[in-house]
Structure 1
Amino acid sequence: MTMQADRDTTAGPSGRSADRAALERAVGRLRALQHPDGWWKGELETNVTMEAEDLLMREFLGIRGARETEWTARWIRGRQRPDGSWATFHGGPADLSTTVEAYLALRLAGDAPEAPHLVRAREVVHSLGGVERSRVFTRIWLALVGLWPWDRLPAVPVEQILLPDRFPLSVYDFACWARQTIVPIAVLFALRPAVPLGLTIDELYAAHPGTSGTSAPDGAGSAASEPAPRRPARTLFERGLGGALRAFDTHHPGRLRRLALRRAETWIVERQEADGSWGGIQPPWVYSLMALHALGRPVDDPVMRLGLEGWERFTVEEPGPDGPVRRLEACQSPVWDTALALVALGDAGLAKDDPMVARAVDWLAGEEIAVRGDWAVRRPDLAPGGWAFEFDNDLYPDVDDTAEVVLGLHRVGAADRPGVGRGIDWVLGMQCRDGGWAAFDAENTSTLPAALPFCDFGAVTDPPSADVTAHVVEMLALTGRGHTAAACAGRDWLLRAQEPDGSWFGRWGANHVYGTGAALPALIAVGVRRYEQPIRRGVAWLEEAQNADGGWGEDLRSYRDESQRGRGASTASQTAWALLGLLAAGDSGSSAVRRGIRWLVEHQLADGGWDEPQYTGTGFPGDFYINYHLYRLVFPVSALARYLRSGS
């Protein structure tokens, strides 16, 4: 196949004029969305467990009010699907744990179990095996409100906090998001608090599928038999490890536990960010607040107060069809969004002398990280630098954000900022031994954490990934470091990571379209020839994945079902990712590229953006997904601009 043979001969001057007009509208939309301080932040949409757990946390802390309960319940009801379920992503399958948590939140809000919408939800729960089959984290929430016995959960000994940093199964064997969550959960396991709700959810248990919900045998739900675990122990080692943890938790030395609780409290408090959050993300935030409260801190304690005030800034309130609604963002992405916006604007020809760009450059420069965080455990001699994901999570800068910030500053001609060099040095210091890069930590690849019985939800370690490594390799190449040993090792890592079908796995975006759209530009930038086999195989995979309408899409089911790779309804962000890969590979004149560009132009909204209800961001592959509301704009801008610049 040659580029000439695949050239789309239908595109004429009128087509290029339409393409240019679409780009101008999209840039105008970006200009309109910029905050006066210089940053961009699209909403980060997840699923209703955020809102359900918010109400449960407020009940636990004794601060739940009528207004937030009513508005939040209205939002949860509005997200229920016709079959009675709630899902983890738009158009996804019914999710048992999400449905259980939503149901419980609505019961807490006063909805009767006989209400039609709860009857439908209950039928879904029963069809999926009952609350007994829900994930461990859902059953932890049930235990916190007296609806599940603590002693029927996998043990999480708080003494883990006392293990040396480099010791197997220390908290630093876990990814940063996991360790920040596990430490406060371990405190809660040790103290076993329970705040009764004055209701039960007996009707959700498969063993007792009643509908009254008025009594709870044994005082803790109606689970009379041991539940089948969501992820049963796969090996004798895992079963033995779970039993050993249970035995230790039952027979721990009292003095050691008191020491561990004090150490855990200090550890948690030391990791609170300036905005009151923990890591800027929902799981460690809510568990830390509850753990500190269980340890005796009142809600007006300075640490608690700062945490609750910060939590309010993650709240979105707006009118709804049946009245005002309230929802929560699991995290916020201003640094990431602003970096991507700068890349896009640089692609579109804007430079640092444009006032919009200048404001963004200045804001990003002020967000550089100058303090050491948990990453220093594995890299004790590395100087701080780089950028984080959010406004204030300074203790957890990440490699991906840093690479994109440097790329963005480079694109607009602002790579001379002093922080750029420090950021590159920090990223180089975070390279793993195998040549790849992970998001937050180096060498965070132990297999032990995944063997623990309570780790049944989400990734718990942070190994190198193709998308992060690709962004770093591209950044190194574009800043004149493409022939360094680090860049060559990253290139070789990417070549080894290519899948047999020619694609690359996307850890932080959905999924192989994201990974392939990142890997191809990186490999080309670092010197892999466009005609070489890895590039042509990646191009062939993208071309085969193109939809009949000209766009690209990949449903999140592909994380669990390989047959779904590259399959799904076309979206603006995924179409742009595929186009960026094909354009980098020199296929700008191909029919596939022109059809993809035409899809973007024809689906653009009047305001210059694109509609995208699908989730194309990934928190935990297979478990937790994100709709980044700015993805649908920044990536199409880059794709349109690079296409127009190609002259095809």
Structure 2
Amino acid sequence: MTVIDSGTSETARATADPALVRDALRTAQVHLRALQDDTGWWKGELATNVTMDAEDLLLRAFLGIATPEVTEPAARWIRSQQRADGTWATFHGGPGDLSTTAEAWVALRLAGDGADEPHMRAAAKFVRTGGGIEGTRVFTRIWLALFGLWPWDDLPNLPPELIFLPSWFPLNIYDWGCWARQTVVPLTVVATLRPVRPLSFGIDELRTGSPAPRRNSIVSIAGMFQRLDTVLHTYARRPLGWVREMAMRQAAEWILARQEADGGWGGIQPPWVYSLLALHLLGYSVDHPAMRAGLEGLEGFVVHEHTPAGELRRLEACQSPVWDTALATAALLEAGAPGDDPAVLRATDWLLGEQITAGGDWQVRRPDLAPGGWAFEFANDCYPDTDDSALIILALHRVSHPDPERLRAAIRRGTDWTVGMQSADGGWGAFDADNTSALPAKLPFCDFGAVTDPPSADVTAHVVEMLAELGRGSDERCRRGVRWLLDHQERDGSWYGRWGANHIYGTGAVVPALVAAGEDPRSRPIRSAVRWLRAHQNEDGGWGEDLRSYRDPAWIGHGESTASQTAWALLALLAAGEQHSPAVERGIGWLIGTQRPDGGWDEDLFTGTGFPGDFYINYHLYRIVFPIWALGRYLRAAEPARNGHRGG
């Protein structure tokens, strides 16, 4: 292994007072413990953007179930999120987003806002300047088509016959990521039936009259798919009747088979609302049990907030109790909580009850693999994921449970399933194995968000760290994961973060995993990562990376300091043996100096990622669990050295 100088000229000039660190950690733990539900789980709000609320109002208008009790507080929330320039963004502090602003404008028109009101004129001006409704994403124009505000003929065709393609055939539904798959199948029904339920207003204020963009070259994959779309539109006008009827019936059965116990689909908004639309168009009334369960389940995703201006109503795109509980449990254990701590045991019992022992779509690629993973949400048994499973096992491994055999059995099942989901290249994706086809992203329909689930550095790192902690660091599966991580290090020394913002998240996950798996902290990959983190520390001592880094490399590693991102950077540096460095001491000082009196941290900026470049998340629990994790590891690493022992 190549080793270079570790740069230890920055030695133990410790500035963080151990007593202050312990006090901060103690206060943070008290705050976290107070947030635990009596049944054992933690769940912070999962904040996104007003697209969720706009589409909720559009859905209710289409189904004929809109009421003032829902519309008024939802519209109040949408208005409250409009910025001074008239726009709505996809993340706090980000640039105005064309499609989000267009959908918010239409939703507020539904709520009774006049097109001539100042805030509406400002929004419409931004939309027109940005390319008009003609430049919005396909999803936005599908919603408009439902109300006759955009022609169905000008949307990409989605034939329901896709459901017949075998799993080995290109562009079969299992080539898509699970979230896209669950969205595409119901949309094939909606796009085939092409309903129109006119509204009392138009959207001329949002139009530019611009012609459609020129098609790509016929010799490109995207260009070939554009021309295939023309063929499919022709077929759609005169399909084989019996084939289409059978496809629609099979699509409906596929949708119903994946409805979860809470009434939803996949625990996330897009497949949920499109499945409701598809079933309704197939003749299911809003009083049908499947429809009623779906609509009632959405209410469980609603956040109500009372303000002097009136009640606000907003919709979470997803909920993260399993993920949050795993992180909170691991954070408490890192902070020194004993393995039989009552809060830890309550969380453990709840997590054990959430383990999934039924099959799901993942079996298409791994038919012989026994189930045993965990999902992200309260109810999503069809789609467990390797990321949650790895983090849960990392936490459970350190628990002293009164029924140790039950715990060991759950860890064994979960580990076997997670390991079995390794992709052929040695990495791990989140929900599926070998979900790497490049074709779905080339379709005219796919102009928003990631549509496949290839291996990523952050997920692979979590699985590698899990295996190392279980004593399986020398297993061939783990070594292949390590090689994947080393092969995917960026030239600047960082790692790309798929599910968190961005290179700070990826690097914060990978470095601890590599060190746990036996990589020498003095090795070139680790020292390169350390240099990158040092170079991107803010002057205030913290770290931050703006979400624009997914599209603009100038933002990589740059942004306002946040508690979660500072903690991720510290976790990497501590794993690399940097516990005595000024960079770590300044980072710890930033966490202590910005902590609120109640033990938490403020974090308006989004640091979670749904779809890189398009959809982002503010996990409200990140701002507490990751600082606890980092402070706990810092004390363990640094305090022995202060007592005359070698740290780390």
**Same topology, TM > 0.5:** yes
2:85 paired residue among 60, 83, 87: 83
Instruction: Report Cα offsets for 1:567-625 as digits up to 9, x if no partner.
Output: 00000000000000000000000000000000000000011000000000000000000
Correspondence for 1:467: 458
1:243 paired residue among 227, 241, 251: 227
Distance 1:467 1:410 in 2: 20
Q: Which amino acid aligns with 2:278?
A: A
Q: Within the alignment, does 1:359 sit opposite 2:357 as a pair?
A: no
1:295: which partner in 2? 282
Determine the C-alpha separation between the residues in 1 that align with 2:436 and 2:575. 31
Per-residue deviation, residues 442-471 of structure 1 (Å, max 9, x unmatched): 010011101100100000000000000000
Structure 1 residue 68 and structure 2 residue 79: aligned?
no
What is residue 222 of structure 1 aligned with on the other side?
Answer: none
Tell me what 2:294 maps to: 307
Which segment drifts farther, 122-131 or 480-489? 122-131
Residue 134 of structure 1: how far off its partner (Å)? 0.4
Q: Partner letter of residue 11 of structure 1?
A: T
Q: Aligned with 1:324: secondary structure? A: strand
Shift of 1:528: 0.5
Deviation at 1:246, TM superposition (A): 3.0
- Structure 1: how far apart are the matches of 2:448 and 2:491? 28
- Residue 125 of structure 1 aligns with an amino acid whose one-letter code is V
- Aligned partner letter, 1:82: A
Cα RMSD (Å) of the superposition? 1.4
**DSSP 3-state at the match of 2:396:** helix
Q: Do the aligned residues in 1 keep the contact of 2:332 with 2:628 (CA within 8 Å)?
A: yes
Listed one character per residue, the Cα deviations across residues 472-521 of structure 1 (whole Å, up to 9, x for unaligned) are 00000001111000000000000000000000000000000000000000
Displacement of 1:354? 1.4
Q: 2:415 aligns with which of 409, 418, 424?
A: 424
Query: Offset of 1:155 from its aligned partner?
Result: 1.0
What does residue 11 of structure 2 align with? 7
Q: Which amino acid aligns with 2:446?
A: C
Query: 1:477 is matched with which residue: 468, 474, 479?
Result: 468
Asked if structure 2 preserves the Cα contact closer than 8 Å seen for 1:3 and 1:590, the reply is no
Specify the code of the residue in structure 2 equivalent to 1:248. L
Q: How far off its partner does 1:158 sit? A: 1.1
- Secondary structure, aligned partner of 1:411: coil
**Which amino acid is the alignment partner of residue 53 of structure 2?**
E
Amino acid of the structure 2 residue aligned with 1:335: V
1:278 equivalent in structure 2: 265
For the 8 Å contact 1:4–1:589, the answer to whether it is kept is no
Deviation per CA, 1:17-43: give whole Å up to 9, x if none.
001000000000111000000000000
What pairs up with 1:437-586 in 2 under 5 angstroms? 437-586=428-577
- Kept in 2, the 8 Å contact 1:371–1:394? The answer is yes
SS in 2 for 1:586: coil
* Inter-CA distance 234–548: structure 2 relative to 1 (3 Å threshold): farther
Once the two structures are superposed, the pairs formed by residues 597-616 of structure 1 within 5 Å of their partners are 597-616=588-607
Q: Secondary structure at the match of 1:575?
A: helix
Q: CA deviation at 1:256?
A: 1.2
CA–CA separation in structure 2 for the residues paired with 1:63 and 1:339: 38
* Deviates further, 254-263 or 489-498: 254-263
Equivalent position SS for 1:86? coil
Is the CA contact 1:317–1:326 (under 8 Å) kept in the aligned structure 2? yes
Asked if the contact 2:14/2:585 (under 8 Å) is kept, the reply is: no
Aligned to 1:159: 161
Checking the alignment, whether the CA contact within 8 Å between 1:55 and 1:105 is kept in structure 2 is yes
2: distance between equivalents of 1:104 and 1:272?
29
CA-CA distance at 1:408 after TM superposition: 1.2
Q: Name the SS for the 1:47 alignment partner.
A: coil
* Structure 2 residue matching 1:319: 3-state secondary structure: strand
Matches within 5 A, 1:218-237: 226-228=211-213, 236-237=220-221
User: C-alpha distance in 2, partners of 1:171/1:439?
Assistant: 17
Quick check: 2:421–2:428 contact (8 Å CA) kept in 1? yes
Q: Answer whether contact 2:345 2:399 (CA < 8 A) is retained.
A: no
Matched AA of 2:285: P
Deviations 1:534-589 (A, max 9, x none): 00000000000100000000000000011111000000000000000000000000
| 1:380 counterpart letter in structure 2 | P
3-state SS in 1 of match to 2:303: strand
Segment of structure 1 superposing worse, 39-48 or 346-355:
346-355
CA distance in 1, matches of 2:216, 2:156: 11
Match of 1:41 in 2: 43
Shift of 1:126: 1.4
Distance 2:208 2:18 in 1: 60
Deviation at 1:50, TM superposition (A): 0.2
* 2:644 alignment partner in structure 1: none
Map Cα deviations across residues 182-207 of structure 1 (whole Å, 9 max, x no partner): 01111001000111111111111012
Q: Sort the Cα spacing of 1:399 and 1:78 in 2 relative to 1 into closer, same or farther, 3 A.
A: same
Residue 10 of structure 1 deviates from its aligned partner by 5.1
Superposed, 1:385-404 pairs within 5 Å as 385-404=372-391
- How many Å separate the matches in 2 of 1:524 and 1:72? 48
SS in 1 for 2:307: coil
1:196 to 192, 195, 198: 198
1:40-69 Cα distance to aligned partner (Å, 9 max, x none): 000000000000000000111111101110
1:573 counterpart letter in structure 2: S
**Paired residues, number:** 628
% same residue: 61
Q: For 1:242 and 1:411, locate their aligned partners in 2 and report how far apart those are by CA, in whole Å.
A: 53
Alpha-carbon distance between aligned partners in 1 of 2:551 and 2:216, rounded to the nearest angstrom: 17
Aligned with 2:118 (options 116, 119, 141): 116
Instruction: Please name the residue that 1:211 is paired with.
Output: none
CA distance in 1, matches of 2:295, 2:632: 43
Find the counterpart in structure 1 of residue 333 from structure 2.
Answer: 346
Asked whether the 8 Å contact 2:467–2:473 carries over to 1, the reply is yes
Bigger shift: 249-258 or 635-644?
249-258
Closer, same or farther: CA 201–429 of 1 in aligned 2, 3 Å: same
Structure 1: which 5+ residue stretches go unaligned?
A: 208-224
Give the CA deviation at 1:3.
Answer: 6.1
Paired residue for 2:645?
A: none
Per the TM alignment, residue 227 of structure 1 is displaced from its structure 2 partner at its CA by: 3.0
Q: Flag the 1:488–1:63 CA change in 2: closer, same or farther, 3 A.
A: same
Greater shift in the superposed pair: 524-533 or 252-261: 252-261
Residues 339, 398 of structure 2: 8 Å contact kept: no
Residues 470 and 489 of structure 1, relative CA distance in 2, 3 Å threshold: same
- The Cα shift of 1:321 comes to 3.7
1:226 offset after TM fit, Å?
4.0
Q: Separation in 1 of the partners of 2:8 and 2:285?
A: 71
What is the deviation of 1:320? 2.4
TM (normalized to structure 2)? 0.95
Q: CA deviation at 1:9?
A: 2.4
Aligned position for 2:646:
none
The answer to whether the 8 A contact 1:241-1:452 is kept is yes
Q: TM-score, normalised by structure 1?
A: 0.95
CA contact 1:342–1:412 (8 Å) conserved in 2: no
CA distance in 1, matches of 2:397, 2:337: 12
CA contact (8 A) 1:546 1:552 kept: yes
Structure 1 residue 6: Cα displacement? 1.1
Q: How does 1:139-154 map to 2 (within 5 A)?
A: 139-154=141-156
Alignment partners' CA distance in 2, 1:61 and 1:236: 40
8 Å contact kept, 1:90–1:615? yes
